[in-house]
Amino acid sequence: MFSDLKESLIGRRVGGTRVIPVTSKILFVFILIILVSNLASNYINLMFNRTELISQMKDLLGKDLRDIYTFCNNQYEIFQLTRDEKKSLDAIILKGNAQLKNSRAVVLGLKRDLKYYFTSSKGLQIAPFSDKANFDFMEKNRLEGIDEGFLPLKLNRHEYFAVYKYNPKWEIYLIRAEEENEFYQKQREIFRNVSIIIAVITLLSGIVGTILLRRILRYVSRLTRSIMSMAETQQLEIVDLKNAPNDDITYLGMAFNSLSSTVNNLIGIFRKFANQDIVIKAYRDREVKLEGVQKNLTIMFSDIKSFTFITETLGTDIIRLLNLHYDQAIRQIVEHQGIIGAIIGDALLAVFGALDDVSTVSRNKSLQAVLAGYKMQEVAKNLRDEMTRKRDAILAKKSKLTPEEERVYKAVLLEVGVGIDGGEVFYGTLGSHVRMTNTVIGDNVNAASRLEGLTRVYKVPVICSEFVKKDIEASAKEENLKSEIFFQELDIVQVKGKTTGTHIYWPLPTAQLNSAIQKSLEPFARGLRLYYKGDWSGAHKEFVKSKLKVAKVFEERTHGNKAPAKWNGIWEMKTK
């Protein structure tokens, strides 16, 4: 037990150096300061408590008033027998004077016409009663059945503490009052003297305490400044402990520096596994809760085509290929203010608009999603080009590829489809306190997946919903800008599991709209209008004029066919 006490007071050796507890140093200083301050303040508080004195003063005034009230009643009985009013009144005045000690203390008998019936004082000239507000207060209380109380009274241009009681026999208000300044005079003198003593003691203690504590805790200030700087930059750094003394603050700083390196590594890993909004929330709130909110977001779903063939061909090397693709694709999503909702093998779910609450620079979420979708197409194309260069290098050394090599080459030529939808979804953290994940839930998520599936049907890289179209166009109109995206309607489809048709669009960045594409878009748009009206023969002729891949889909659909009976322009999909 003694060893534990010794260790808590003077510390213990760590690596040959004694780490002295800083609490021992602080304790010694503050015991001395607090002891002096408390003895002085407690002594003052014990002797001078103004609230308690006022309470006692009220009690004493009340006691005096009750004595006078009783005496007045007795004199009234005497008056009834003797009919000598002056004698009874003189007796009451003498009784009042006997109670007064201070020079401005008074006993008053106030009639209801605001004139004095009698006054008692130590020779004080009492001015006519003029405090009409307090008289009205007494009258109001009397009419309500309250015939006594405490009130602040203004008399002779001075403020008084007063108690009153109505005497129905004499029909007067009996008032016993003490002047405030006179009552507080001794207290102020004592308070002034004690304040000087306290100020001197506090000043001396503060000077000594400041010198000692600044010397002892100088490295606490350094630690605090460093940590505050880290809090602002959200980046842990190493604290400078050069020439620090051998106490537990220095040891704490050394431990912090060691921990800082470890935490920086963990934060780096955490940032890779968690989305930016979760990282910001975790740093700000110091926790990540299992909770969610309803938000208006844009959802992008991408999928790698022919993935079964790729997996069967590459085997475990599929991981390397996916990482080559995702390394660049995810960078593009993040650069366009998107966050990763899920990575499921060949499929990737991204969410746009979730960072609007924490980002200082924000563009339209649907525009960002479309631009990111086309950047992913560029990533896939660059990867295909790289693989083609590698194949050409191999062919330069030998005449042809083996069947297995040819199969591998085809497997690494990744193509991705992108579907984009949006609207009100539930976004938040799902799981348990043991393991949780950030996710998005809503029909729009499933819709984005189905739109991606339609890229295989309509032979376009990106398909979006009408929500995305309206969101981008409304944002451009609001900012008085020309839309960066041209939307070509593709079809009205009823996907499997739905009962209504949905307009789907091919969003084309205006920067990619060259003359050749525009020339092919015009007959396709004319054909689509005829197609909706049920004139499949006329639509077929227009589709043939277009060089777009999607036009070939409609060309085959309308070739030699008539519109179905009761055609409403909606094409029903039989598969997901």
Q: What are 429-488's pLDDT values in tens digits? A: 776 667 667 778 888 888 999 999 999 999 999 999 999 999 999 998 888 888 889 999
**181 in Cβ contact with 211 (< 8 Å):** no
Q: Which tens digit of pLDDT belongs to each residue from 293-349?
A: 788 999 999 998 888 888 888 888 888 888 888 889 999 998 998 988 888 888 999
- Cβ neighbors of 516 (< 8 A, separation 6 or more) are 547
Residue 43 pLDDT greater than 60, yes or no: no
> Any idea what the Cα angle at residue 8 is, between residues 4 and 11, rounded to 5°?
105
**303 in Cβ contact with 346 (< 8 Å):** yes
- As given in the structure block, the two tokens for residue 454 are 């339609």
Region class of 149: left (phi > 0), else alpha (psi between -120 and 50), else beta: left
Q: Which tens digit of pLDDT belongs to each residue from 390-437?
A: 888 888 888 788 888 888 888 888 899 999 999 998 887 776 667 667
Residue 44 pLDDT greater than 70, yes or no: no
- As given in the structure block, the two tokens for residue 526 are 């004319």
| 393 sits in which H/E element | helix 365-397
**53 in Cβ contact with 187 (< 8 Å):** yes
- Cβ neighbors of 51 (< 8 A, separation 6 or more) are none
- As given in the structure block, the two tokens for residue 269 are 């890993």
Q: How far apart are the two ends of the chain, measured CA to CA in Å?
A: 75
Out of 3.30.70.1230, 3.30.565.10, 3.40.50.11900, 3.40.50.2000, which CATH number does the structure's domain 289-483 have?
3.30.70.1230
Tokens 């203690």, located at residue: 205
Residues of the chain with CATH 3.30.450.20: 20-216
Q: Which residues pair with 419 in a beta bridge?
A: 301, 463
Q: Which residues pair with 437 in a beta bridge?
A: 430
The pTM assigned to this predicted structure is: 0.58
Topology (CATH level 3) of domain 20-216: Beta-Lactamase (3.30.450)
- As given in the structure block, the two tokens for residue 146 are 């309250």
Residues of the chain with CATH 3.30.70.1230: 289-483
Tokens 């620079």, located at residue: 361
